[in-house]
């Protein structure tokens, strides 16, 4: 029988994660700068280590199933967040955000993402509790998303502005240049908005789109709102530092989207099988569960997620190195961010 996580642990974890995020936010806004490779690496290692310690505490306080669900959910959200980073890079380039202030933009983007995902998690948990057939919807949506992810062309800088952003540009007067990290500035004696507002809105709407993918995906791993939310928090906390750590390398991970697409497809299949196994829909098998539909375990899911990302990343790096050699360079020479200044 599975053991439940102690209430004090859940409350303490949420309080602790909130304090870490607030501290991170204060550091970013009090000292805007471009982090070095060493600084970014240390922060990423810190957050990854923190997630692993969190999983270990779950193992000790509850059982291996809880720990496995958290690890699988965290890695799923982390892989989807890396895909998120690619779009963030396009947005930063499109609006020519000064590197000094990109940390602030990313931190605000993380906060927006957490708020949006928190809302979707609450909605998803209520839907699952009241309508078991929602797993069919989630599964079908992830299968569609996986196919779209695999065949869709890469977005370019011109696509960084969605219809909402273009509408704002028409309706509002925007200054031609940034004024630090300010949202408003004074031009010719009048207070007007800076491009920073448009950037933050572009990041926010991007977060909304990615939340629609990621929340059904993690509910395919676990139905615990606490594990779903904490997995999202841990995945997003290191996102800002990962942006500076990977830099131009992200654009060279050509096969990453296929790894992510495979993960989404796998979880979509898992959700459909779970829906069949616990079926209550009248026109399917007379409203009874389909006995032949297998349940895919948490540790199998974890293995598929890790394997997919490992294969996609290694294949991408091999291709990127091969392409760089064809141009007479090494991969590090073509990506200055990989070399510590």
DSSP state of 297: P
Highest mean pLDDT, choosing among 34-48, 88-102, 193-207, 261-275: 261-275
Q: Sorting pLDDT into bands at 50, 70 and 90, what band is 1?
A: very low
Contacts of 54 (CB under 8 A, 6+ apart): 13, 70, 230, 234
Q: Say if CB 94 and CB 157 are below 8 A apart.
A: yes
In sequence order, the β-bridge partners of residue 193 are 174, 184
Cβ-based neighbour number of residue 94 at 10 Å: 18
CA separation, residue 26 to residues 36, 110, 171, 236 (Å): 19, 14, 33, 17
User: What average pLDDT does this structure show over 205-233?
Assistant: 85
Separation CA 141–CA 79 (nearest Å): 18
Separation CA 300–CA 176 (nearest Å): 52
Cβ-based neighbour number of residue 257 at 10 Å: 18
What b/e string do you get for 138-170 counting C-beta neighbours within 10 Å, with b at 16 or more? Answer: bbebbbebbeebeeeeeeeeeebbeeebeebee
Q: Sorting pLDDT into bands at 50, 70 and 90, what band is 3?
A: low
Contacts of 29 (CB under 8 A, 6+ apart): 104, 107, 181
User: What average pLDDT does this structure show over 195-212?
Assistant: 80
Is this prediction's pTM over 0.95? no
Higher pLDDT, 218 or 160: 218
Q: 191: part of which helix (H) or strand (E)? A: strand 190-193
Owner of token pair 């409203």 = 287
């Amino acid at each position: 029988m599975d053991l439940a996580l102690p209430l004090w642990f859940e409350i303490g974890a949420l309080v602790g994660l909130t304090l870490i995020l607030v501290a991170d936010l204060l550091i970013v806004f009090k000292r805007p700068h471009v982090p070095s490779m060493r600084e970014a690496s240390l922060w990423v290692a810190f957050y990854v280590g923190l997630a692993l310690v969190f999983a270990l505490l779950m193992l000790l306080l509850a059982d291996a199933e809880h720990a496995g669900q958290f690890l699988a959910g965290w890695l799923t959200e982390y892989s989807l967040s890396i895909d998120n980073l690619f779009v963030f890079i396009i947005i930063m380039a499109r609006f020519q955000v000064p590197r000094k202030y990109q940390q602030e933009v990313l931190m605000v983007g993380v906060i927006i993402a957490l708020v949006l995902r928190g809302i979707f998690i609450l909605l998803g948990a209520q839907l699952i509790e009241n309508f078991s057939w929602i797993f069919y919807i989630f599964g079908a949506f992830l299968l569609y998303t996986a196919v779209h992810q695999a065949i869709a062309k890469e977005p370019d800088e011109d696509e960084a502005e969605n219809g909402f952003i273009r509408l704002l540009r028409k309706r509002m007067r925007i200054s031609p240049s940034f004024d630090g990290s300010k949202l408003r500035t004074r031009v010719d004696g009048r207070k007007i908005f800076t491009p920073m507002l448009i950037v933050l809105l572009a990041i926010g709407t991007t977060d909304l789109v990615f939340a629609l993918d990621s929340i059904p995906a993690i509910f395919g791993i676990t139905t615990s709102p606490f594990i779903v939310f904490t997995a999202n928090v841990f995945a997003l906390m290191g996102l800002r530092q990962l942006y500076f750590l990977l830099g131009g390398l992200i654009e060279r991970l050509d096969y990453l989207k296929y790894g992510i697409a495979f993960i989404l497809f796998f979880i979509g299949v898992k959700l459909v099988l779970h829906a069949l196994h616990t079926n209550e829909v009248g026109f399917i098998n007379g409203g009874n569960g389909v006995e032949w539909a297998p349940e895919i375990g948490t540790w199998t899911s974890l293995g598929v997620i890790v394997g997919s990302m490992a294969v996609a990343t290694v294949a991408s790096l091999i291709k990127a190195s091969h392409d760089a050699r064809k141009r007479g360079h090494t991969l590090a020479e073509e990506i200055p961010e990989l070399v510590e200044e």
